[in-house]
Homo-oligomer: A and B are copies of this chain.
Amino acid sequence: MTYCAALRLKQGMVFASDTRTNAGVDHISTFRKIYTYGIDGERFIVLQTAGNLATSQAVFTRLQNDINLKQESNLNTVVSLFDAAQMVGRYMREITSHAQEVANEPNNANFTSSFMLGGQIKGQPTELYMIYPEGNCIRATTDTPFFQLGESKYGKPILDRSVTYEADLYHSAQALMLSFDSTIRSNLSVGMPIDMVIYENDSLKVPNMKRIVESDEYFSVISKHWSDSLRESLLNLPNYPDDYWDK
């Protein structure tokens, strides 16, 4: 499985993806599921994926080839992030359909994958798109400042409670790290390392990808800090009214 999430906030954007892939519990591997593109000072694009790894990697490869071969339309030339999202959706549909034809399983959903695309093009606002296996997409708004893909339920409550469009960028990044921590504790199919990217609005700089490994000291520190304060908060909840449980 996979867990990836992306936040689009007033101050900027945060993207995080786990790296575990599994075909059954006895075939587990580590793969990157997030890639960055762009030209410093001009544009920055992040692409995250969940679903069929072969489909996802084929999409990444086609997008990179378009750039390398200087195709007229590629992620470095598209005039809007919407066009970029459309391109990703079109490639995904083509690759999925091809795989389904080859396997002679036209409706086998195992060949599908999903993407999230975000970033900023000079002179335009930041944008974040969720691209569905059908190839179409939705855009994040101030009402809905984050998207998730894959094994998203374990980590959703902490985001629901803490992440708003106005929230601080780096605090929200901590919340996202803890959202991953909760997911990894509760679900074997999501695993470290976690790849993370933080983008500050209008910096138009392609940020370095941060890889958070098991041994990452800071991740362990906030994870423990979080567990401890949760336990403490639980122990310090207001007591039941006397008649709440009739014994």
Find the B residue at minimum CB distance from A158.
Answer: B230
A36 to chain B minimum Cβ distance, whole angstroms, is 14
Contacts of A155 in B (CB 8 A): 157
A231 touches B161 (CB 8 A): yes
A interface residue count range (under 10 / 10 to 19 / 20 to 34 / 35 or more): 35 or more
Contacts of A187 in B (CB 8 A): 153
Find the B residue at minimum CB distance from A244.
Answer: B218
Q: Find A161's partner among B185, B235, B240 (CB 8 Å cutoff).
A: B185
Does residue A141 face the partner (Cβ distance < 8 Å to B)?
no
Copies per complex?
A: 2
Complex Cα–Cα for A50 and B175 (A): 32
Q: Binary interface profile of A, 229-246, with partner B (CB < 8 Å = 1, else 0)?
A: 111011111101100111
Contacts of A221 in B (CB 8 A): 238
Find the B residue at minimum CB distance from A159.
Answer: B186
Known: A186-B157, A210-B245. A162 touches B222 (CB 8 A): no
A238 touches B222 (CB 8 A): yes
Q: Chain A contact residues: over half helix, strand or loop, or mixed?
A: helix
Does residue A11 face the partner (Cβ distance < 8 Å to B)?
no
Does residue A57 face the partner (Cβ distance < 8 Å to B)?
no
Does residue A165 face the partner (Cβ distance < 8 Å to B)?
no
Complex Cα–Cα for A236 and B226 (A): 10
B162 touches A182 (CB 8 A): no
Complex Cα–Cα for A217 and B156 (A): 25
B238 touches A225 (CB 8 A): yes
Q: A28-79: which residues lie under 8 A (CB-CB) from chain B? A: none
Among A154, A170, A210, chain B packs the most CB atoms within 10 A around the CB of A154
Q: Find A208's partner among B156, B170, B246 (CB 8 Å cutoff).
A: B246
Find the B residue at minimum CB distance from A152.
Answer: B153
B245 touches A218 (CB 8 A): no
A162 touches B234 (CB 8 A): yes
Complex Cα–Cα for A208 and B243 (A): 12
9 further contact pairs, Cβ within 8 A, besides A153-B154, A171-B235, A207-B245: A156-B186, A157-B157, A174-B234, A198-B245, A210-B245, A218-B240, A226-B233, A230-B233, A233-B233
